[in-house]
Structure 1
Amino acid sequence: MHRFLSRWAALVCALGLAPLAGAAEAPPAGHFFGNPGFTKPRLSPSGTHLAVLASDEAHRQRLIVVDLNDFSLKAAAEFRDGDVGAFSWLSDERLLFTSADSQAAQGDQRYAPGLFAANRDGTAFRQLASSRGKPFITVGGPSSLLPWHTFMLDQDGAQDGPEVYVANHLVENLSADREQELLLLNTKTGKAKPFDAPSGMRWWMLDQQGQPRLAVSRRDGQTMMHYRDPASGAWREIARHASYTGAGQGFQPLAFGPDGTLYVASSEKTGYAAVHTYDIAAGKLGERPLLNVQGYDFMGHLVFGGGKLLGARFLADGEGTEWFDAGMKAVQAEIDQRLPRTVNLVTPPVRAQTPWVLVTSYSDRQPQVHLVYNTRTRDLKRIGDSHAAIKPAQMAAQDVVRYKARDGLEIPALLTLPAGKDKNLPLVVLVHGGPYVRGTRWGWEAEAQFLASRGYAVLQPEFRGSAGYGGAHLRAGWKQWGLAMQDDIADGAKWAAAQGYAAPRRVCVAGASYGGYATLMGLVNDPELFRCGVAWAGVTDLELLYKGHWRFDSDMSADFKQYGMRDLIGDPERDAERFAATSPLRQAARVTRPLLLAHGGADLRVPLVHGTRFRDAVKATNKDVEWVEYEQEGHGWYLPRNRIDFWTRVEAFLNRHIGPQP
C-alpha cells in the first residue's frame, strides 16, 4: 500500500509542468481560493464518454461530455443564470443533474436545486423536480414536476436506462434529520411511482442491479439497518447501534457485490474499521477482513467493474487504492511508471466496452489533474486541471508527522513547510472543525499552501477525538472540549518548536467551527504559547449549543442534541461548572492576545450570536480585536470573493503579529 510521506515529491509534477526560472512572487490569493475550473469527471458506464463540470467565461459550471473516440466536446447542460451542480450517468446516453449557484452566498441560496435530465448531446432536456423559489427552466409546466424537496441519491442506479430512484424528503426543514420516501422516476416521461417500503427511512442503499436493498432508520438515539430480501421483497431489521457512539451491533454498509454479498466497514475485530463481508442470514461479520489499512480506519469505497469487485479506494495519510484484481494492479503499475511523482487514482468504467480508464493525479504540491489512459495503446491524455493557475514549483512540501501529547497519546498531524525553509519559522497551528471527523489528508490543500506561500509553517493536528485513527483515539476526545483535546493542540505547537521548525515566540492558532472554539480556548489557556488567534464560524459558548437563541436557530437535529451531544460534549446541567470553565464567552476577559474574529450572518450550524456575543465581551478588555461579518455567508465562506477577502485579511493580520520576518 501507499504511504504518502512527501519528501520524495519533486518540485515539479511529471505532467508537463516546467519549473519556474528564478525566484517568483507569491501567487495571488485568487489562485488558491477561486472555484476549481474542472471538477467531478465521471466515465459513462461503458467508458465511451467522460462527463465533467467545466467553468465557462462567466465562471459558470457547465456539464461537458467528452467523446473518447475522437475527443470532441459537447455541452450536455448549462444554465444561463446558474450552474450545473451534482450529476450522474443514467446510461451511456442520458445524465441526471441538479442546479446550483456559485455566485450566491449561502444566505442567498433559498432555492432547492431542482432535478433535470438530458441526453449527452444536450437533447431531450427535461426538468423533473421544481426549484424552490426562482426556477431556471420549466419544461412541461410546474404541475407536472415533482416537489422541490426531491433529490438525487448519493449513489448510482442501474445505469442501463432512463429510470432512476430519487428521494422525496418528507420534512420541510432540510437541515434536520429527515425521512425519505423513495420514488422510481422515469426521466423521459417525468412520471414517478413510490417504492413500497417501510416508513421512517433516512437513507437507502441500492444493489449492483440498481434496486433498493438496504435502508437505515433512526429513532431515540438508535440507528437501525433494514434489509430487503430480493426474492420475497420483505424487509427486516438486521442490525442496530447507538447513532453517535457506535455502541451495539454497528457497522457501516459499503456496497452490495454483483452476487449479492454485503460489504461493510467494522471495527469489531481490531478496534480499527476494516472491510468485511457480512453474513446477513447469520447476522455476523466474516472472520477475516478483506482490507485492513494499518493504523487507520477504513474510509473510502469499493470499486466494481466487469461484474466483480476490483479493489478499494481508501484514505490513509492520503488517498490511494488497493487492487484485488491482477489486471487492475498491472494498469496501476503502468500509470505509476508514467507518473512517478504523483499519487494516481485509477477508476475503470462499470461495464467497460473501451480500453479507457479515468486517472486523477495529485501530490502535496500538485492539485488534482484529470487524465484518461488507454490500457491498449498506452496513450495518456490530460483532460483538465482543478486549479490550473497553481504552479507546483511554487508550492510547499507536506509531511505526515506524529508527536506525543503530555499524557503519552500519539497525535498524527500534517506539517507544511515553506519551500526551501525548515527552521525557526513563524508557525500557524491550523485546527480542523467537527470535531469528531477526519480533519486532514495528505495532498494539496488551499489554506495550508496559501500560508506556506507567505512564509509560514503550518501544523494541522489530528487531536484526540478526530475520526479515522481507531476507536480509542476517537473516544479519547469525548467530553474533552477545552481539556485534553486542547492540550493536544498546545503540545503540537511545543513539539514544532522543540524540533526547531517553529520560532517559539512566533506561533498563532487558527481554525473554523470547532477549530474556532479551540483557537479561542488556546488564547485563554496558553497566552504565552499562542501570540495571536484567527477564529471563524467558531463556537463560543457550550451552553448556547444546547439552548439556542430566540433569533438564531441552529440546524443541528433534535436527535443529536438529545442523544449525541450529551455523550460527546457533555450535559449542560451536570457539567455546568466544566462548561463555564471551557466556554470562551465565559472566559473572554482572559483573551489578551490579538484576535481576528469572523462569522457568517446566515450561519445555521453555529449561529451569528456566538460571534457577536463573544466579540462584545472580548472587546471590553482587549482592544486588539478585528471583527469581520460576511452577512450572507453561512458556516464558512462559499463565495470566492469572500474567501479571497478573508485570507487576505489573515495574511495581513499574521504579518503584523508573527510575521515571516522576525
Structure 2
Amino acid sequence: MSTRFPAFQRGAALLACALITPAFSADAVPAAPPIADFFDNPAFSAANLSPSGKYLAVRFSNDNKRDRLIVIELATNAIKVVAQFADRDVDTFQWVNDERLVLDSTDKSIGPGDAIYGPGLFAVNRDGSGFKQLVQVSGNFVQEHGVARTTLPADHYLVEQLGAQVSDDVYVINPKRDGLDEAGDIKYVNLVRVNTVTGRAETVKRPGQCQGWLLDHKGEPRVCIALEKNIETIWYLDPASKEWRKIASFDAYLGGKEAFTPLAFGPDGTLYVLSDAGKDKAALHTFDLKTGQVNEKPLVALADYDFSGRLITTRDKMLGVRYLSDARATVWFDEKMKTLQATIDAALPATANMVNPPTRPDSPWVLVQAYSDKQPTHYTLYNLDTGKFTSVGSTQERIVPAQMAEQELVRTTARDGLPVPAWLTLPNGKRKNLPMVVLVHGGPYVRGNEWGWSADSQFLASRGYAVLQPEFRGSTGFGTKHYRAGWKQWGLKMQEDIADATKWAIAQGIADPKRICIAGASYGGYATLMGLANDPALYKCGVNWVGVTDINLLYTGHWSFTSDLSSSYLKYGAPTLIGDPEKDAAQLRATSPLLQAARITQPLLMAYGAADRRVPLYHGKKFHDALKVHNPNVEWVVYQEEGHGWSLPKNRIDFWGRVEKFLGRHIGTP
C-alpha cells in the first residue's frame, strides 16, 4: 500500500486524465513522447532526510516556477516552505543539524554566458525562521532579506561533506587564483568554518597549496590534498599532536603504484582510500595512518570494474558501502540493513533500490531512490514500523517507463583484441536492421555511462533508433590497462574501438549498415569528426556539439577566449595523455579534424555555445569555415548564452528537435 503527501498529489489528476482519454485502437501506434518530456527541467529534483529521520527536505518548483526548499514533518505530514526567492532558484542544500539547513542559489532561467555571480550561501531553520545570509551573491541580484556586513564574499562555496551534524557549523571553500578573475589557475583553496547562526568565520590553517579537503566523521578537517606543478601531496592533521604531517606524494596526472585517493573517514577514525595497489582494478582499502601505507587486503573489490562509491554510516557505525558496477548497488555489513534491503527489493522488483538511512536514526523512516533503465530516479519513503511506502517524487515526472527502451551492457572486441564494453539501447519491440546512432561520450578520460535512464539515449530510442555507446580505451572505471591503452590515442586506437563496436552491431544484425550516424559532445564531437574522416563508408552522417576540432587549439588557445583547462594540466598531464605539441606534432596533425576537413563530405550538424570555456567557439568556427567550402550539407547553430553543453530547457529542446529532423532526413526509416 502506498500514500502520498498532499503537496505532490499529481497521481489522481493524471489518472483522471487517463480515464477520459480515448483508448488507442488495436492497430494504432502511440505517438512518441514530446521532446520536452525528456529535456525540460523537473518540478521535483532532490530530497534529503534530516539526521534524525524525522524531517524531509525537498527541492520543488510549483507550476514550473522557481525551485524552492520545502520541509515536511513526517509524523504529521506538515509542510513548510522554508526558503524561496523571487528571481533565483534554490540549488544545493543540506542539513546542518536536525533543526537547521544551509542552501545556495542559482538562476535556471539564464545560461552560463549571462551568469556573473556566485551562488551565495544561506541558512534557515526547518520551520522557516532564523533565515541568515552567510555568503554574498555577486551580480545584480537584490537580496530580499538584506546583506549584513559580516557576510563572506561571493567566492566562497559550500563543502558538500556532512560531518557530525551536531553543531551549527558548516565549512565553505575559498579558492585563490593566479588572476584577478575566474579565468586564473587555482593556486590553493582555503577551508573556512562558518557558524550558520552568527555568521562567524574562521579559516583553517593549511599545510601547503591545498586543492582539496576531507573532513572526518566528526566534521573536523583531517586531510588536505595539495598540488604543486604535477606532484600531489596528501597531508594528514594528527588529532593527537594537532600538527599536519605528509603521508603520501605522487604524480597527480600519471598516478603509479603508490598513488591513492582519500575517500572518507569511518566513525572509528579509519581512513578509507581508493587504490589499485599495483593491480589492474582500483578497490576500496583502508589506510594505515601509522605506517603511511595502503593496507593490502581490499574491503570491497570488483572483478570487472574499478571501485567507485561512498561509505554509508550512522553516528557510530559503518553500515555499508554504495558502489557502481554496471549499475549502482550496496554491500551492507549491518545485518538489519541487509534484511531491509531484501524486503524493499522484493516490494520493488523492477528497479535498483538505493536505501538511505538517516545519519542519527530517531524515527522509522528511510529514503529510497529507485531507478532502472526505463525509470528515472523516483524518491520514496519506507516506514520500518508499518512496512508502507510513501511516494515523494520523480526527477522526470512525465516519463512513462512502459514507453522507454531497455538498455544493456554488451562486450565487443577491438581489432587488437582489447575488450571494449558498450551500452546498447534498443527501441521497444525492435532488435534487427535498425537505423543506429553511435553516441560517443566526452572526457575522454572518464567513465561514459552506467545502467540507468538517460535522456539522450532514451529520446533517440523513442524515435526508432538503436543507440550504441562504446566505452573505448581511455575510458575510466574498467581498470588501469583499459585506461592507459587510450593515452595518446585520440583519432587512432580510440577511434578504431568506436568503429569496431559499430561493426559488431552490424554483424549482430542490429544495425542497418546503410543507416548509421555518429554523434557526440566535447571529445565525442572530436570522435564524430574523425569518424566521418576515417570511416566514410561506415557513417552516413554526424552530429557534433561543443566538439574539439584541433588538439593544438587546446594548447594554443585564441586571443578572444581563455580556456578553463589549467596550465598545470596542459603542461604536465595533457602531453602524456593526449599528445605533446612538439614531440608528437606529426601525430597531432594527422589526427586533427580541422586539417582533415577536406575528407568529410557526409551531412553534418554542428552546435556550439558562445560562452564555452572548455572548447571555445573558435573550435567550431574554424572547422565550419574549412568545411563549408566543399560540403553543402552542413547545419550550424550557436547558442549565445550557453557554455560547454546546454543548461536551458529551451536550448535542449531546440537542439534535440534539430537532431531529430537531421537524423530523419539522413538515416530515418525509408
TM-score class, shorter-chain normalisation, is over 0.9
What are the Cα deviations for residues 104-152 of structure 1, in whole angstroms up to 9, with x where unaligned? 0110111100111111121111111111112342645353210110111
Distance 1:139 1:559 in 2: 41
Residue of 501, 509, 525 corresponding to 1:500: 509
Contact 2:176/2:186 (8 A) holds in 1: no
- In structure 2, the partner of 1:636 is 645
- Alignment map for 1:616-627 (pairs within 5 Å): 616-627=625-636
Distance 1:140 1:341 in 2: 49
Contact 1:241/1:248 (8 A) holds in 2: no
Over 3 Å off, 4+ runs? 16-23, 138-142, 172-178
Contact 1:130/1:142 (8 A) holds in 2: no
Q: 1:40 offset after TM fit, Å?
A: 2.4
- In structure 1, the partner of 2:40 is 34
Distance 2:405 2:347 in 1: 23
- In structure 2, the partner of 1:104 is 110
- Alignment map for 1:282-293 (pairs within 5 Å): 282-293=291-302
What are the Cα deviations for residues 583-629 of structure 1, in whole angstroms up to 9, with x where unaligned? 10011000110000010000010000000000000101101000010
- Alignment map for 1:203-222 (pairs within 5 Å): 203-222=212-231
- In structure 1, the partner of 2:615 is 606
Contact 1:127/1:137 (8 A) holds in 2: no
Paired amino acid for 2:107:
D
SS of structure 2 residue aligned to 1:544: helix
Residue of 524, 533, 540 corresponding to 2:542: 533
SS of structure 2 residue aligned to 1:515: helix
Report whether the alignment pairs 1:92 with 2:98: yes
SS of structure 1 residue aligned to 2:437: strand
Report whether the alignment pairs 1:573 with 2:579: no
Report whether the alignment pairs 1:167 with 2:176: no
Paired amino acid for 1:131:
V
Residue of 376, 392, 398 corresponding to 2:407: 398
Paired amino acid for 2:275:
S
Report whether the alignment pairs 1:60 with 2:66: yes
- Alignment map for 1:417-436 (pairs within 5 Å): 417-436=426-445
Report whether the alignment pairs 1:591 with 2:597: no
Alpha-carbon distance change, 361 to 287 in structure 1, aligned in 2, over 3 angstroms? same
- In structure 1, the partner of 2:663 is 654
Q: 1:247 offset after TM fit, Å?
A: 2.3
Paired amino acid for 1:589:
A
Distance 2:628 2:341 in 1: 57
Q: How many residues align?
A: 646
Distance 1:129 1:563 in 2: 35
SS of structure 2 residue aligned to 1:533: strand
Distance 2:603 2:146 in 1: 58
Contact 1:277/1:285 (8 A) holds in 2: yes
- In structure 2, the partner of 1:8 is none
- Identify the range of structure 1 (20-29 vs 597-606) with the bigger mean alpha-carbon deviation: 20-29
- Identify the range of structure 1 (401-410 vs 301-310) with the bigger mean alpha-carbon deviation: 301-310
Paired amino acid for 1:96:
V
Contact 1:127/1:138 (8 A) holds in 2: no
Distance 2:156 2:419 in 1: 45
Distance 1:529 1:58 in 2: 43
Contact 1:157/1:165 (8 A) holds in 2: no
What are the Cα deviations for residues 636-661 of structure 1, in whole angstroms up to 9, with x where unaligned? 000000000000000000000000x1
- In structure 2, the partner of 1:462 is 471
Paired amino acid for 1:416:
T
- In structure 2, the partner of 1:294 is 303
Q: 1:193 offset after TM fit, Å?
A: 1.6
Distance 1:288 1:517 in 2: 41
- In structure 1, the partner of 2:346 is 337
Kindly indicate whether structure 1 or structure 2 has the higher relative contact order, using CA contacts under 8 Å at least 6 residues apart. 1
Q: 1:36 offset after TM fit, Å?
A: 2.2
Report whether the alignment pairs 1:50 with 2:56: yes
Report whether the alignment pairs 1:437 with 2:443: no
SS of structure 2 residue aligned to 1:497: helix
TM-score normalized with structure 2 length? 0.94
Paired amino acid for 1:187:
T
Distance 2:148 2:130 in 1: 18
Give me the identity figure in percent: 53
Give the CA RMSD over aligned residues.
Answer: 1.6
Q: 1:306 offset after TM fit, Å?
A: 4.2
SS of structure 1 residue aligned to 2:149: helix
Q: 1:283 offset after TM fit, Å?
A: 1.4
Distance 2:205 2:248 in 1: 21
Distance 2:244 2:664 in 1: 61
Residue of 352, 363, 371 corresponding to 1:354: 363
- In structure 1, the partner of 2:280 is 271
- In structure 2, the partner of 1:260 is 269
- Identify the range of structure 1 (536-545 vs 51-60) with the bigger mean alpha-carbon deviation: 51-60
Residue of 127, 141, 146 corresponding to 2:152: 146
- Identify the range of structure 1 (33-42 vs 98-107) with the bigger mean alpha-carbon deviation: 33-42
Distance 2:444 2:478 in 1: 13
Distance 2:436 2:307 in 1: 31
What are the Cα deviations for residues 279-321 of structure 1, in whole angstroms up to 9, with x where unaligned? 0111112231110122000111111124111111111111111
Distance 2:145 2:248 in 1: 44
Report whether the alignment pairs 1:129 with 2:138: no
Contact 1:225/1:237 (8 A) holds in 2: yes
Distance 1:173 1:442 in 2: 39
Distance 1:248 1:177 in 2: 27
Paired amino acid for 1:436:
Y
Paired amino acid for 2:175:
H
- In structure 2, the partner of 1:6 is none
Report whether the alignment pairs 1:236 with 2:242: no
Q: 1:231 offset after TM fit, Å?
A: 1.7
Distance 1:115 1:362 in 2: 31
- Identify the range of structure 1 (61-70 vs 91-100) with the bigger mean alpha-carbon deviation: 61-70
Distance 1:135 1:240 in 2: 43
